[in-house]
Amino acid sequence: MIGIMLGSLATPVAHTAPADLRGTAYGMFNLVSGLAMLAASVLAGLLWDRLGAAATFHAGAVFCLLALGLLAMRRKSAGPIT
């Protein structure tokens, strides 16, 4: 699943980065993705250890709803997709 997700997220890097900096852009993308994954894993581990499995899954649901809300707000402000 992660392989599918990262492949589709890395596609815009190829389209927006200049050809001579594409390797650097991929490196920065992977660095930021890895740091975000590390932070999410640490937070999930702490929640699981301190509050149990249910709290971890509830936090995941809250983060998903927040992300959906932010995407909806961004889509409204950006206008229709052409």
**Stronger pLDDT, 2 or 70, i.e. the higher one:** 70
Mean pLDDT value of segment 32-44: 94
Number of domains in the chain: 1
* Most distant CA atoms of the chain, gap in Å: 48
pLDDT at res. 11: 83
- First-to-last alpha carbon distance for the chain, in angstroms, is 29
Phi/psi-derived region of residue 66, left when phi > 0, alpha when psi is between -120 and 50, beta in every other case: alpha
| Structure token pair of residue 11 | 């596609």
**E strand or H helix that includes residue 52:** none
Model confidence pLDDT, tens digit, residues 41-70: 999 999 999 999 999 999 999 999 999 999
- State the DSSP code for 17: S
Q: Which domain holds residue 11?
A: 2-78
